[in-house]
């Protein structure tokens, strides 16, 4: 029996309190296996937050579900179990805060603005914009998640700029100011490229499916730097 099956058997079929039931099931079903418990907690948290993210604007589109599948890979024979858990989380009336807190607690060794949690937030933005627009309710949802992750407002705005303001303010994407000299901006850009390179995800233990997010992030950073470089040369 897979850990998905064990977990769902412990939850039952009640959707109304699915998320709280999942938290309790993770704690009890895998009590003697801390490594599996951590893996399951992380995976389920991503599933639950993705489901909640997709519903934040009141509509779950097929494009948002497809976007979820792009960043969360699972064995083909477990598709029904994952879908069931996703649907339970989507039907639940509340509880996403508990999952955000669980994710945050898994990163106790990280300093502020944990890169793993930033990866998760990028994944949620990926889903939010899948239907072509990040709605205000979705943005508020993401902002609250960032607060639970203890992410600074500046960092959140920088992440949001990569997704919401595509083609907008390249300085915000890089987290620099128009008053900064180009050398400072270039150093910042190279630092971000090094920090967010897809190979870094592997070293952080981030699942390979999140590399889609890393590639999007790199494209946004490159486009922002190119725009600033072109502007400065024209001046």
What is the mean pLDDT of the segment spanning 17-39? 69
- C-alpha dihedral (81, 86, 92, 97), degrees to nearest 10: 120
Whether pLDDT at 223 is above 80: yes
Give the residue extent of every domain in the chain. Answer: 3-234
Whether pLDDT at 225 is above 80: yes
For residue 210, give the DSSP letter: G
pLDDT single digits (tens) 39-90: 676 677 777 888 888 777 777 777 877 887 777 767 778 778 777 777 777 7
Cα–Cα distances in angstroms (integers) from residue 50 to residues 43, 83, 172, 215, 227, in the given order: 11, 12, 26, 19, 32
């Amino acid at each position: 029996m897979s850990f998905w099956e064990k977990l769902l058997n412990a939850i039952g079929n009640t959707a109304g309190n699915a998320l709280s039931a999942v938290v309790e099931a993770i704690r009890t079903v895998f009590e003697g296996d801390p490594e599996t418990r951590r893996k399951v907690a992380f995976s389920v948290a991503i599933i639950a937050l993705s489901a909640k993210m997709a519903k934040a604007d009141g509509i779950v589109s097929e494009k948002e579900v497809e976007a979820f599948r792009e960043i969360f890979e699972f064995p083909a024979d477990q598709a029904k179990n994952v879908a069931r858990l996703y649907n339970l989380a989507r039907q639940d009336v509340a509880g996403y805060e508990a999952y955000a807190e669980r994710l945050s607690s898994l990163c106790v060794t990280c300093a502020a603005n944990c890169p793993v949690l930033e990866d998760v937030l990028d994944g949620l933005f990926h889903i939010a914009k899948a239907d072509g627009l990040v709605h205000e309710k979705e943005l508020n949802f993401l902002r609250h998640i960032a607060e639970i992750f203890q992410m600074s407002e500046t960092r959140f705005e920088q992440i949001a700029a990569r997704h919401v303001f595509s083609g907008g303010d390249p300085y915000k994407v890089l987290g620099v100011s128009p008053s900064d000299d180009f050398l400072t901006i270039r150093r910042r850009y190279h630092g971000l490229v090094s920090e967010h390179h897809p190979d870094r995800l592997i070293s952080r233990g981030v699942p390979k499916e999140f590399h889609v997010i890393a590639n999007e992030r790199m494209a946004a950073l490159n486009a922002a730097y190119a725009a600033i470089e072109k502007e400065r040369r024209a001046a």
